[in-house]
Amino acid sequence: MTHEERGLLGGLCRWSLVVGLTLFPARLHAQLLSAISLSFTSIPGSVPLGGAGTNSASVDFGNVSALQPLNGGVSRTVGASSYTVSTDFGVRATKNSLGLLSPNYTLRARLQSAQSLTWRVDGTTLTTTDAIIGTSQPYETSVPHSLSFVVPFSHAAGTVNTVLEITAIAN
């Protein structure tokens, strides 16, 4: 191999490395995204979650009304023109070795689609845009959060469905 050929080969190797390492961080990033994980937990005295222990859970308040008895674990406050029903759910975030440097996490929540009723987590009204529910949340602990929604007296009777997207971000 001539000196020019070796130089050309060395240049190709260097550029290949540059190109490869430019792409490489994206793969690392994808790995770091899984540095923490989240699951929903049931809180004693509140509505038991369907799918507790997973990151795709459900809460069924059952029949709710302003004046009739409610299911166990559901609480209610009645105002002049609306009532609010609530229950608690838990969020447990865990981190693996890739997340060792993170001391705690920030929790955010949003509605996956706009709703006619007002939904709140820990008193924060949700929209389809992420809202901060809490900062410095501890890992490896089921942290209880209040989930509530407001039903105006004028709201028609019927089924209510919504999906909350809860996000934990490593600090």
Partner 1 sequence: MSTKHLLKTAVMAASLMTMPSLAAAQTSGTLTVTATVESSIGMTFENDASGVALTGASTNAATMAFGAVSAYNTIATPNVTRSVSASDFTVSSLFGVKVVKANSSSSSYTLAAALGSADATNTWRINSTTLTTANQNLGTGYTYNTAVAHTVNLTVPLTASTGALSKVLNFTVTAN
Q: Kindly state the DSSP code that residue 34 receives in the 8-state scheme.
A: T
Sign of CA dihedral 61, 63, 67, 73: negative
Q: How far is CA 88 from CA 32, 46, 55, 59, in A?
A: 30, 6, 16, 10
Q: Kindly state the DSSP code that residue 128 receives in the 8-state scheme.
A: S
d(CA 142, CA 124): 19
Residue 132's DSSP bridge partners are: 108
CB of 4 to partner 1, least distance (A): 17
Are 171 and 100 a contacting pair, CB within 8 Å?
A: no
Size of the chain, expressed as the number of residues it contains:
171
d(CA 119, CA 110): 9
**Residues that bind partner 1 in the complex, under the rule CB under 8 A:** 10, 13-14, 17-18, 21, 24-25, 28-29, 32-40, 49, 54-68, 83, 85, 89, 91, 93, 98-99, 101-102, 112, 119, 147, 149, 151, 153-171
CB of 2 to partner 1, least distance (A): 18
CB of 53 to partner 1, least distance (A): 11
d(CA 30, CA 144): 29
CB of 5 to partner 1, least distance (A): 15
CB of 126 to partner 1, least distance (A): 11
* Residue whose CB is less far from partner 1, 45 or 63: 63
